[in-house]
A = this chain, B = another copy of it.
Amino acid sequence: MNNRLQKDTDKVPEPTLRRLPWYLSNIKLRKEKGEHFVSSTQISKEINIDSSQIAKDLSYVNISGRTRVGYDVDELIDVLENFLGFTDVHKAFLFGAGSLGQALLGDSGLTHFGLKIVAAFDVNPDLIGREINHIPIYHIRSFEEKMKEYGVHIGILTVPINIAQKVTDDMVAGGIKAVWNFTPFRIRVPENIVVQNTSLYAHLAVMFNRLNFNQIK
Residues of B within 8 A of A98 (CB): 109
Known pairs A85-B209, A183-B25, A211-B177; A48 contacts B188 (CB<8 A): yes
The answer, yes or no, to whether A173 is at the interface (CB within 8 Å) is no
Sort chain A's interface into a size bin: 35 or more
Chain A binding site: helix, strand, loop or mixed by DSSP?
A: helix
Known pairs A25-B185, A186-B48; A208 contacts B84 (CB<8 A): yes
In the complex, the chain B residue whose C-beta lies closest to that of A205 is B84
A140 to chain B, nearest CB (A): 20
A122 to chain B, nearest CB (A): 15
Q: Flag if A211 contacts B154 (CB, 8 Å).
A: yes
Q: Flag if B18 contacts A202 (CB, 8 Å).
A: yes
Task: Identify the A interface with B (CB < 8 A).
Answer: 1, 3, 6, 10-12, 14, 17-18, 20-22, 24-26, 28-29, 32, 46-49, 84-86, 88, 90, 98-100, 102-104, 106-110, 113-115, 153-154, 161-162, 177-178, 180, 183-186, 188, 192, 194, 196, 198-217
